[in-house]
Amino acid sequence: MQLSVWTYEGPPHVGAMRVATAMRGVHYLLHAPQGDTYADLLFTMIERRGCRPPVTYTTFQARDLGKDTADLFQRAARDAYARFDPQVMLVGSSCTAELIQDDPAGMAEAMRLPCPVVPLELPSYSRKENWGAGETFYQIVRHLADRDVRPAPHEGRRPLANILGPAALGFRHRDDVREVRGILATLGIEVNCVAPLGGWPADVARVGAADFNIVLYPEIGDSAARWLEREFKQPRTKTIPIGVGATREFITEVAALAGVDPTPALQDGESRMPWWSRSVDSTYLTGKRVFVFGDATHAVAAARVAHEELGFEVVGLGCYNREFARDVRDAAKLYGVEPLITDDHLEVEDAIAAAAPELVLGTQMERHIAKRQGVPCAVISAPVHVQDFPARHSPQMGFEGANVLFDTWVHPLIMGLEEHLLTMFREDFEFSDDAGASHLAAHSPSRHAERVSASSAPRAPAIQEEDWPPEQVRGDDEDTLWTAEAEAELKKIPFFVRGKARRNTESFAAEQGRAAIDLETLYDAKAHYAR
């Protein structure tokens, strides 16, 4: 048994739902108890979908066990077919149904439904959401891809590509697809099929017509793409176009696969990120310590952008999906950090505290951790939150994606010029320490906000910001080591680096075995940590 408070990933059948919901003409019959229907709200509330996910739950109850759960399943299958008229039906079990062993696959087959049925075996007690999504998409492709459909002769037609991997509840998948389509259009490459997102079963059946596959999210698209590579001899892309450098490499890779000239797409006049990063205001970004955590694909990509394109120092890198841990291990070597492969958020919290970063790039989970630790944070990866589905176009991929990364990562950090002003005018009464930078309200842990206890009502509606229970507030009154003089000096240090100065000084003092922290210790520590 694993003790878990918050999880990065749901069970594998939620991954299957992300695929089914993304596609059109697909219905998923899930053998599951009533409580599992909570998963619908992920799609309707977080992603704000205006349709219910195409999922029928059998919602068997205790009184059905041992007599007619199988019957219930078959009735639900018949009803779902009659009502939703799907072109393809996925059938499978959730964790509970897996234990009662009703064999949905066999039952569905025996029923001879008038549409293709794709049985899903998603082991709930060993696998998780991303794996479930990848496996589901792979099974759909395997079952539906028509082996007789192959690329037409090259003469007289444009190159043809599939875009694989985007799904429902993905981090900015909708916008990434638009960016990548734009790149392909510039290169004169046509799109054969985008799946799962927006794809029909008929599109998947014709997947073989494309010359090659573009895999945007390996967590979801890789198994299918590898199978297509083996069975259909379709090559696949390996670069994830997040960041300017990776987008350039992606364009070059795609152009090579298509046999076209990459130049038109490489000269994108809308790519502002390189200049924004070179302009003098960005000088203060140099060497900012950044901790990166997310799914492997987004984490590795973010670390590269942070390091190469913003001049940050990567002080931590990790992912929660073990299946892709190798990529993270390789990348961690580049930055000389220990890779953190874990799905235990408490471990991540400790690692972040130990690394003392100035910026966290993570998931919603890290956003909360960072908030508690008073560190700015930007979200780069699922698991997602309603805020991660902005109304505006806000991709991560392509040149526009890189522009977005610059804005969203740099915004939480204090702006360069403002940083100087704060230091200069710190003593002025208008610049009370507690105020912080004007745009930083959401990120700076003002003492006042921390002390406000949870609202008087013990209940909070779902899908709203958390309130902070008083028991979690960290006090910093227990520092008896500090002399009054040193404490006063510490207060003169700008608030946005004060936490780090305090931590560094304390660990220095502990290392050195000093009994008290006086002015001497403070400045010795500063010298010790000077880079």
Partner 1 sequence: MKADAFSLPAESGCAAPPEREVLRERGQREVFCGLTGIVWLHRKMQDAFFLVIGSRTCAHLLQSAAGVMIFAEPRFATAIIEERDLAGMADCHEELDRVVDRLIARRPEIRQLFLVGSCPSEVIKLDLGKAAERLGAKHAGQVRILNYSGSGIETTFTEGEDACLASLVPVMPASAPDTAPQLLLVGSLPDIVEDQFLRLFAQLGIENVGVLPARTADGLPAVGPNTRVLLAQPFLGETAQALEARGAQRIDAPFPFGAEGTTAWLKAAAQAFGIDEMHANSVIAPGRERAKRALEHHREKLAGKRISFLPDSQLEVPLARFLATELGMEPVEVGTPYLNRKLVARDLEQLPESTRISEGQDVDRQLDRVRADRPDLTVCGLGLANPLEAEGLSTKWAIELVFSPIHGFEQAGDLAELFARPLRRRDVLQV
Q: Which residues are catalytic?
A: 281
Task: Report if residue 457 touches partner 1, rule: CB under 8 A.
Answer: yes
Residue 402, C-beta contacts closer than 8 angstroms, at least 6 positions apart: 242, 243, 244, 247, 271, 273, 305, 309
Residue whose CB is less far from ligand SF4, 95 or 493? 95
Structure token digits, residue 39: 């998963």
Under 8 Å between Cβ of 328 and 303: no
Residue 245, C-beta contacts closer than 8 angstroms, at least 6 positions apart: 304, 305, 308, 309
Residue whose CB is less far from partner 1, 57 or 495? 57
- The residue with tokens 């899930």 is 30
Residue 106, C-beta contacts closer than 8 angstroms, at least 6 positions apart: none
Binding partner of residue 252 among ligand SF4, partner 1, none, CB cut-off 5 to 8 Å per kind: none
Q: How far is CA 497 from the centre of its chain?
A: 28
Q: Where are the alpha helices (DSSP H) in 311-344?
A: 325-335
Residue 81: phi and psi, rounded to 5, are: -65, -45
* Footprint (CB under 8 A) of partner 1, residues 378-397: 385
Residue whose CB is less far from partner 1, 50 or 114? 50
Nearest distance in Å: CB 19, ligand SF4 = 20
Return the residue nearest ligand SF4 (CB atom).
35
Q: Is 417 annotated as a binding residue?
A: yes
Binding partner of residue 469 among partner 1, ligand SF4, none, CB cut-off 5 to 8 Å per kind: partner 1
Binding partner of residue 152 among ligand SF4, partner 1, none, CB cut-off 5 to 8 Å per kind: none
Contact stretch for partner 1 (CB under 8 A) within 45-53, 271-279, 292-300, 432-440:
45-53
Nearest distance in Å: CB 112, partner 1 = 19
Residue whose CB is less far from ligand SF4, 26 or 39? 39
DSSP assignment string, 229-291: HHHH---B-----BSHHHHHHHHHHHHHHHT---HHHH--TT--HHHHHHSGGGGGGTT-EEE
Distance CA 34, CA 36 (A): 5
Phi-psi region at 442: left, alpha or beta (left = phi > 0; alpha = psi -120 to 50)? alpha
Residue whose CB is less far from ligand SF4, 441 or 463? 463
Contact stretch for partner 1 (CB under 8 A) within 40-48, 164-172, 403-411, 508-516:
40-48
Residue type present at position 28:
Y
Structure token digits, residue 389: 């589905």
Binding partner of residue 62 among ligand SF4, partner 1, none, CB cut-off 5 to 8 Å per kind: partner 1
Distance CA 507, CA 113 (A): 67
Binding partner of residue 295 among ligand SF4, partner 1, none, CB cut-off 5 to 8 Å per kind: none
3-state SS assignment for residue 332: helix
Nearest distance in Å: CB 15, partner 1 = 11
* Footprint (CB under 8 A) of partner 1, residues 49-68: 49-52, 56-62, 65
Nearest distance in Å: CB 20, partner 1 = 15
Nearest distance in Å: CB 48, ligand SF4 = 23
Interacting residue with partner 1 among 21, 74, 93, 94 (CB under 8 A): 94
Q: Is 36 annotated as a binding residue?
A: yes
Task: Report if residue 96 touches partner 1, rule: CB under 8 A.
Answer: yes
Distance CA 506, CA 525 (A): 9
Return residues touching ligand SF4 (CB under 6 A).
Answer: 33, 35-36, 95-96
Distance CA 90, CA 4 (A): 30
Interacting residue with partner 1 among 256, 449, 460, 519 (CB under 8 A): 460
Q: Is 50 annotated as a binding residue?
A: no
Q: Which residues partner with 118 through β-bridges?
A: 90
Residue whose CB is less far from ligand SF4, 35 or 470? 35
Binding partner of residue 48 among ligand SF4, partner 1, none, CB cut-off 5 to 8 Å per kind: partner 1
Q: Which residues are annotated as a binding site for [4Fe-4S] cluster?
A: 36
Q: Which residues are annotated as a binding site?
A: 36, 416-417
